[in-house]
Structure 1
Amino acid sequence: MIDVNELRDPIIAMYRLPGIDEVFTFYYDETNNVRKLHLTAGGMNIRRPDCFVLGGIVHAGAPRAINLGSLRAALRFQPNVKEIKLRLLGNGDLLELLDSAKVECFLRWLSDEGFLVHYQVTDLLYWSIVDIVDAILSEADAPQLVAVHMMLKDSLYTLLRDDVDGTAELLGRYSYPDVGHERRGAFVAELLDLLDYRENMLPHFQFYMLKGLLQIARGLPSLPYLEDESPNILIDGFGTFFLNRLCLFKNASHILDDEQQIETYLRSIELTDDGAALEHFRFADSKSEQGIQLSDPIAGLLGKLFTYLNQTTADEIADDLARMGDRQRSSLALLARLLDRSTDVCPAFAQYVISDEDRRRASFMLESEILAG
């Protein structure tokens, strides 16, 4: 049994989120759900996992009928096309999708109809390794480092992100996250050696702060999150991401795409709201649930966006923006304004488990298009 307020109240207190108690209807789909991420003899079971996105459309009020007739007509879908899917709107990477007339049409229709967008994006590698920083800070008496914990996570991720194979090999040698007490010193020593070797990847201040953190780790009696854990298991499932949304928006209705693993997980948990049973979500077949159909392209497009941002430097993004054609610019501007309008209604519609650097890249790309429009 879980009281949703025990999970949501600390988040609301920390971020002072407006609109969190309003009545909304959320529709969900997901993309890049690898089910599990673990270390293998050859690295990771997914060599370089793309960003996981749980998201879709949202509208104010209780569930209501959604008519897709005008959208299907605008997309020129034949009657035998049963569902709206991203793959029917376009193919390829982000830049190729932005050049699709159907993607542009879809985004324009969503905006004209007044729908909003919600999403939770997670960089799976980032999420897997930031426990190193949290483990040290939880034991160290270093309030000056706690104050810059996000910068420290960003710095560690910068150190490890570009050589995914090398990072997986390093973590695998220590059965991460089950590094254990005996191997902890050697693990931290390797991170320090790697930091010195790649010093030029970080600004001086970030380099010395991360070095200080790792040096502190050498003298700590224990490192929680890195001991007595399941060896080689980086991510054991995505149910907690769904649970987060259900708890955060307790007054909303949540309509989720059929996913047996997630349904089994959520059905095993009895959610309550101050002692009263809370039954505010259901699973549905996308063929009969138009809101889920609209969520498939949104989740897929955002997955492409954040994977692109994760794997593309700021300079390369600037070059790509300069080379964009009219349709690409139009589609990106439509997406940027849709995301901006959504978070104006409720900032918690967007949640991120990604590095600060990738958030800066996202701001640069999306804000450039809003300003240009």
Structure 2
Amino acid sequence: MDVDQYRNIWSTSSGIPLLNEKYSFYYDETGNVRKFRLTDNGVNAEEAIVNDFILGGVLFNGNSPPCNLELLYDELKIQAPEIKFRTLAGRGADFWTAIGKKPIQQFLTWLESSGLYVHYATLNNMYYSIVDIVDSLFVTQTQFNFGPEWLEALKASWHRFVVAHLDEILPIFYRYDYPSLVKADIKDFCYELSDLIQSYDDDDFYLENFRQLLKENGRGEELFFIKDNTPGLLVEEYSGLRTGRCALYKDSIHYFDEEAEAESSLEAMPFTLNGGKLDNYKFIDSKTERLIQVSDVWVGLLGKLFFILDESTQDSIKSKMESLTEEQKECVRIINSLIDRAENLHRALIQSVNSIDMVQHRGSLLALMDELV
């Protein structure tokens, strides 16, 4: 697909103007389980259910970074060949422990004053794995006026139900070779899911809408996006996030950490520019590029942050914030400030492939944390 055509469609549908200046993006990632697939007793990587894949890092305008990297490395006094999140926070540290560590505090203080912007894209593996069912309903039942907000609400309700009943849903998926159903199985698959939802008598308007639409699709024996895939393979890899960033910011240069699988997937870049393959990216060994190391610390911290937000309530966050030191509260303030600064530059620098419920939940708790610092 021509990259300019893609960008224009994206901008029109999202209402977000395009960013056409040249920036230098640096990336690292966390939560990469390589392939997320069904097994006869669940999934191959249970951690992928509760942890997002996150691709992110730092960027700046032009070719020359505005920051003093020597100052950061001198302050950290790290003897390892490269800095990583686990080096600064300690192996196995959760978010609260991490922001209690002096090296993380020094890192965030430096990052806020560095002149760099942050960016990230998160992908929830389970949400990504199941929303094709909802999108399939949208394709076949054109008699209904599916607005984007209504679709998001359907997806959120369906995702919430799946997560609450994984022990029943995953065996159904496995038995029918989801996400690659044969036509003869579609009716039974839809009816079995519909009956399961009905058995819980959940007082959820959107879930009931989804259930009724699912039954209707079962009668027609059609699920457009749930066929001709690899049976049991829920997430094959994460190249879509990488290629999407390269396309959306086509006038920029994108530096990814060296990884054979990622490099191989980008060889099949789906976007073209002036008739040729879009080629605005490079892979670099993190040991030789400190801005990729900086990106590692940033996305590592985000991974820990989102995990605790997903597990928390407003009351538990309020209680925890009361127990933080002033240094930890300053870390919370800086993280919120960095995210706000990125969104002010361009809203799409902060991207989430996740349930709208979860996006709003995280956002509300981050805002609450910012109020309490």
Q: TM-score, normalised by structure 1?
A: 0.91
User: Does the alignment pair 1:181 with 2:171?
Assistant: no
Which stretch shifts more, 263-272 or 86-95? 263-272
Aligned equivalents of 1:288 and 1:11: distance in 2? Answer: 35
1:29 maps onto 2:28 in alignment: yes
Cα 1:129/1:207, change in 2 over 3 Å: closer
| 2:241 alignment counterpart | 241
Q: What is the CA deviation profile of residues 257-290 of structure 1, one whole-angstrom value per residue up to 9, with x for unaligned ones?
A: 1011111221344853232554321111112112
Q: Distance in 2 between matches of 1:242 and 1:260?
A: 14
Q: Is the 8 A contact 1:19 1:345 kept in 2?
A: no
Distance 1:122 1:285, change over 3 A: same
| Residue 152 of structure 1 pairs with residue 154 of structure 2 | yes
**Partner Cα separation in structure 2 for residue 267 and residue 66 of structure 1:** 32
Q: What residue in structure 2 maps to residue 329 of structure 1?
A: 329
- Looking at structure 1, the residues matched to 40 and 155 of structure 2 have their Cα atoms a distance apart, in angstroms, of 26
Aligned residues of 1:20 and 1:348 also touching (Cα < 8 A): no
Q: Give the secondary structure class of the aligned counterpart of 1:59.
A: strand
CA–CA separation in structure 2 for the residues paired with 1:254 and 1:283: 8
Amino acid at match of 1:184: I
Which range moves more in the overlay, 312-321 or 148-157? 312-321
- Deviates most, 64-73 or 354-363: 64-73
Contact 2:89–2:104 (8 Å) recurs in 1: yes
SS of 2:286's partner is coil
Which aligned pairs between 1:301-320 and structure 2 lie closer than 5 A? Answer: 301-313=301-313, 316-320=316-320
Bigger mean CA deviation after superposition, 284-293 or 124-133: 284-293
Higher mean alpha-carbon deviation, 171-180 vs 143-152, is at 143-152
Look up the match of 1:171.
173
Q: Distance in 1 between matches of 2:372 and 2:316?
A: 19
Q: Find the counterpart in structure 2 of residue 206 from structure 1.
A: 206
Higher-RCO chain (CA-CA 8 Å, sequence separation at least 6): 1
Q: Against the structure 1 CA distance between its residues 333 and 165, is the aligned structure 2 distance closer, same or farther, given a 3 Å change threshold?
A: farther
The CA distance in 1 between the partners of 2:281 and 2:338, in whole Å, is 25
Give, in whole Å, the separation in 2 of the partners of 1:43 and 1:15: 36
Give the match for residue 274 of structure 1: 274
What amino acid is the match of 2:15? Answer: R
**5+ long unaligned stretches in structure 2:** none
Could you say which residue in structure 2 is the equivalent of 1:97?
A: 98
Partner residue in 2 for 1:13? 12
The number of residue pairs the alignment matches comes to 368
C-alpha distance in structure 1 between counterparts of 2:361 and 2:324, whole Å: 17
SS of 1:218's partner is helix
Shift of 1:315: 5.1
Which residue is equivalent to 1:338? 338
Q: Confirm or deny: 8 A CA contact 1:3 1:272 kept in the other structure.
A: yes
Q: For 2:308, give the aligned amino acid.
A: Y
One-letter amino acid of the structure 1 residue matched with residue 81 of structure 2: K
Equivalence for 1:290:
290
State the Cα deviation string for residues 167-224 of structure 1 (Å, max 9, x = none).
3222111111112222212222222222223344xx5423432333223323334111
Q: Which residue of 1 aligns with 2:352?
A: 352
Contact 1:56 1:298 in 2 (8 A): yes
- Does structure 1 conserve the Cα–Cα contact (< 8 Å) formed by 2:188 and 2:218? no
Amino acid at match of 2:328: Q
SS, match of residue 226 in structure 1? coil
Q: Is the CA contact (8 Å cut-off) linking 2:66 and 2:114 kept in structure 1? A: no
> Residue 17 of structure 1: CA displacement?
2.1
**Partner in structure 2 of residue 143 of structure 1:** 144
The one-letter code of the counterpart of 2:141 is A
Amino acid of the structure 1 residue aligned with 2:307? T
Q: Superposition RMSD on alpha carbons, in Å?
A: 2.2
Q: Distance in 2 between matches of 1:156 and 1:39?
A: 18
Secondary structure at 1:143's aligned position in 2?
coil
In the TM superposition, residue 304 of structure 1 has moved relative to its aligned partner by 1.9
1:87 aligns with 2:86: yes
What whole-Å deviation, never above 9, does each CA across 1:38-77 have from its counterpart, x for those lacking one?
1111211102412000000011122447542211222233
Q: Is the 8 A contact 2:38 2:234 kept in 1?
A: yes
> TM-score with structure 2 length normalisation?
0.91
Task: Write the letter of the residue equivalent to 1:72.
Answer: Y
Q: Does residue 195 of structure 2 align to residue 196 of structure 1?
A: no
Number of the residue aligned with 1:217: 217
* Percent identity between the two aligned chains: 30
Looking at structure 2, the residues matched to 236 and 26 of structure 1 have their Cα atoms a distance apart, in angstroms, of: 25
The one-letter amino acid of 1:101's match is K
Which has the larger displacement, 302-311 or 81-90? 302-311
**Amino acid in structure 2 at the alignment position of 1:44:** V
Equivalent residue number for residue 46 of structure 2 = 47
* 2: CA distance, partners of 1:169 / 1:93: 32
Residue equivalent to 2:230: 230
Secondary structure of 2:219's aligned partner: coil
**Structure 1: segments with no counterpart, 5+ residues:** none
Residue 300 of structure 2 corresponds to 300
Note the alpha carbon deviations across 1:91-147, whole angstroms, 9 max, x for none. Answer: 322222222222122111101112111111000010000111111111012434444
